């Protein structure tokens, strides 16, 4: 039997924030990002972003919102957002943190707990299915017509 429940593939909940930060490339220590727009205990989305390649190693430093605790963590560029898709409004880079030490992860989780979650978005690459909608509406109209007469 097929299950229609879709498992959440994310490991941690993302939160909408505006935090200043410093993201530098490991190989040349050039600043490539300075504003976090969403954060979780496993990564961040940073903008504006200078050109960077997926898989590049970076060092990220930021202060947790509502606290005086700073996080300095090494990360890997997981995705480069170019701003071409309808749901993307600007350039950004998604960073996946290296595993955080236990205490740091607990402090980060506690600090992020009170922040609003990021609103859900449609998954990239989804195709619209206008034929399905019209077929459903047509079927509905056929079911309602005999009842109306």
Q: Give a yes or no: residue 136 inside a domain.
A: no
Q: Give a yes or no: residue 124 inside a domain.
A: no
Question: Sorting pLDDT into bands at 50, 70 and 90, what band is 120?
Answer: low
Q: Give a yes or no: residue 56 inside a domain.
A: yes
Work out the average pLDDT over 49-60.
90
Q: Give a yes or no: residue 120 inside a domain.
A: no
Q: Give a yes or no: residue 66 inside a domain.
A: yes
Domain enclosing residue 105, as ranges: 15-112
Strand pairing category for 57-63 and 15-25: antiparallel
Work out the average pLDDT over 104-132.
69
Q: Give a yes or no: residue 117 inside a domain.
A: no
Higher pLDDT, 62 or 9: 62
Q: What's 99's domain CATH number? A: 2.40.10.220
- Max distance between CA atoms of the chain, in angstroms, equals 76
Residue 131, pLDDT above cutoff 70: no
Residue 45, pLDDT above cutoff 50: yes
Question: How much of the chain is helix, strand and coil, in % rounded to 5?
Answer: 20, 35, 45
The Cα angle at residue 48 between residues 45 and 50, in degrees rounded to 5: 105
Q: What does the mean pLDDT of the chain come to?
A: 77
* Number of independent structural domains in the chain: 1
Q: Is 37 left (phi over 0), alpha (psi -120 to 50) or beta?
A: alpha
Work out the average pLDDT over 71-98.
83
Q: Give a yes or no: residue 119 inside a domain.
A: no
């Amino acid at each position: 039997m097929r299950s229609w429940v879709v498992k959440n593939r994310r490991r941690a909940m993302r939160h909408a924030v505006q935090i200043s930060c410093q993201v530098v490339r490991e190989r040349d220590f050039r600043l490539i990002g300075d504003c976090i727009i969403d954060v979780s205990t496993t990564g961040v989305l940073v903008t504006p972003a200078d050109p960077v390649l997926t898989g590049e190693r970076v060092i990220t430093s930021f202060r947790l919102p509502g606290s005086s605790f700073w996080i300095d963590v090494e990360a890997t560029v997981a995705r480069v957002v170019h701003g071409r898709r309808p749901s993307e409004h600007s350039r950004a880079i998604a960073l996946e943190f290296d595993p955080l030490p236990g205490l740091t992860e607990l402090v980060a989780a506690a600090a992020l707990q009170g922040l609003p979650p990021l609103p859900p978005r449609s998954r990239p690459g989804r195709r619209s299915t206008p034929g399905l909608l019209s077929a459903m509406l047509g079927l509905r109209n056929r079911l309602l017509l005999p009842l109306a007469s």
